[in-house]
């Protein structure tokens, strides 16, 4: 039974990975599709017995899925739900929509668009560790929406900026659930992780990468923005029902990630966490379609070496930007700017693979050559 169940889970993983690119109906309804796949995965996981681990459905999992969307992030140390942030920010943007549009267009009249693109990516990437990746993504889409550039350029800016936001959010426990979980799990000996632990450990890699992504965003912008007089917004002002619906979709998406993460737990515990650090780095590319917080919770422990922790976290943070399901900011940006899965992947996959290769060389090759 375990073998059949594992095959079933692997099949669901392939469905999640492939169907959004192949079936338009799935692409347009990504949140309910992922939710249904999460239910299927969690049901199948119940047929796999793992000593000392709860698999499949339980009241605790249902309760976590219901509460997490409204209680899993922090703003300046205060627990706040992602759904509330999306809803309140959406309502505020609705009220001040025209002023925001005028301000962005005014900036575009005073500064070059290339400078705006660079600053947008870098600033939001760095401050996402303090204001949360969700708030950074909401600001991002409103600024991009108002920029007088062609749609293709807006799409590519959004993808690159979400990479920067996802990476930057890993610098502090306030940025995203993954970073909160990691600090909590490493709070004891031997690491005694505190508020600055992630910045000290990963800052050398993440901060230069955010600036690099800013430069990449400018290069892609110069290639994609042909100078066409596209001055209108990609998306018009949202109505209040649309804002409420978007918050509901975010709620459903977070529930889906929890169900998927718990459903795939047997595969993670049996096959993933026993892999050597270099292999784990590449295996963590699955965070492009799975909740990286769940993977971090399963993988990170005080028993790992410092290099193993760094490699695992960088793999999770980078891969999260490659596809829309990989990160909550991706879902927010894709939903508001109407970016399809295939459009996102055209920029996200090559950029993500380039970053993965770059950091693989930086993190592992010096040790193999005896230089670290």
pLDDT digits (tens, 9 = 90+) for 101-122: 778 878 877 888 899 999 999 9
Burial degree of 199 (CB within 10 A; 0-12, 13-18, 19+): middle
Distance CA 30, CA 17 (A): 12
For 24-32, which contacts have Cβ atoms below 8 Å and span 24 or more sequence positions?
27/340, 27/341, 27/342, 30/253, 30/324, 30/325, 30/331, 30/341, 31/249, 31/250, 31/252, 31/253, 31/256, 31/331, 32/252
Predicted pLDDT at 1: 58
Closest CA to 308 of 342, 343, 334, 283: 283
How many other C-beta atoms can be found within 10 angstroms of the C-beta atom of residue 253? 25
* pLDDT averaged per 10 residues in sequence order, the chain, 372 residues: 82 87 83 91 85 80 84 57 80 81 79 92 94 88 87 93 95 84 84 89 95 96 68 62 86 85 80 76 86 78 82 92 90 89 94 95 79 60
The per-residue pLDDT for 230 is 47
- pLDDT attached to residue 346: 94
- Tell me the three state secondary structure of residue 301: coil
Q: What is the pLDDT of residue 168?
A: 95
Q: What is the CA radius of gyration of the chain?
A: 20
Q: What are phi and psi of 79, to 5 degrees?
A: -60, 125
Nearest to 173 by CA among 99, 253, 42, 72: 72
Please tell me the number of Cα atoms within 13 Å of 356 on its side-chain side.
26
- In DSSP notation, 96-165 reads THHHHHHHHHHHHHHS-HHHHHHHHHHHHHHHHHHH-HHHHHHHHHHHHHHSSS-HHHHHHHHHHHHHHH
From 316, 315, 290, 351, select the one nearest 155 (Cα to Cα).
351
Q: Is the CB of residue 155 less than 8 Å from the CB of residue 339?
A: yes
**How far is Cα 210 from Cα 141, in angstroms, rounded to an integer?**
18
> Strands, E, within the chain: which ranges?
73-75, 78-80
Tokens of 17: 């990975």
What are the beta bridge partners of residue 78?
75
């Amino acid at each position: 039974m375990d073998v059949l169940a594992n095959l079933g889970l692997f099949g669901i993983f392939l469905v999640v990975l492939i169907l959004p690119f192949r079936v338009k109906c799935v692409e347009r309804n990504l949140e309910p599709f992922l939710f249904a796949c999460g239910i299927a995965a969690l049901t199948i996981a119940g047929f796999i017995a793992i000593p000392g681990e709860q698999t499949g459905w339980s009241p605790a999992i249902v309760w976590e899925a219901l509460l997490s969307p409204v209680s899993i992030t922090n703003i300046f140390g205060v627990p706040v739900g992602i759904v509330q942030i999306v809803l309140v920010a959406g309502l505020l943007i609705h009220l001040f929509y025209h002023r925001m549009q005028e301000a962005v267009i005014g900036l575009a009249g005073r500064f070059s668009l290339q400078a705006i693109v660079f600053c947008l990516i870098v600033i939001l990437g760095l401050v996402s560790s303090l204001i949360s990746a969700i708030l950074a993504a909401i600001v991002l889409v409103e600024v991009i929406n108002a920029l007088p550039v062609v749609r293709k350029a807006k799409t590519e800016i959004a993808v690159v900026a979400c990479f920067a936001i996802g990476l930057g959010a890993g610098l502090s426990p306030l940025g995203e659930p993954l970073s909160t979980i990691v600090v909590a799990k490493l709070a004891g000996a031997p690491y005694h992780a505190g508020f600055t632990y992630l910045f000290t450990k990963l800052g050398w890699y993440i901060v230069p990468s955010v600036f690099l992504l800013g430069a990449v965003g400018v290069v892609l912008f110069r290639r994609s923005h042909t100078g066409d007089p596209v001055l209108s917004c990609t998306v018009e002002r949202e109505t209040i029902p649309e804002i409420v619906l978007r918050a509901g979709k975010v709620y459903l998406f977070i529930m889906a990630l929890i169900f998927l993460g718990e459903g795939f737990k047997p595969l993670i515990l049996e096959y993933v966490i026993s892999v050597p650090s270099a292999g784990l780095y590449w295996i963590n590319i699955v965070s492009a379609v799975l909740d990286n917080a769940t993977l971090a919770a399963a993988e990170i422990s005080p028993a790992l070496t410092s290099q193993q922790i760094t490699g695992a976290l960088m793999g999770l943070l980078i891969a999260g930007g490659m596809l829309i399901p990989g990160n909550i900011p991706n879902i927010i940006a894709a939903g508001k700017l109407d970016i399809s899965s295939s459009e996102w992947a055209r920029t996200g996959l090559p950029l993500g693979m380039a970053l993965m290769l770059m950091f693989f060389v930086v993190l592992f090759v010096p040790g193999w050559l005896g230089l670290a």
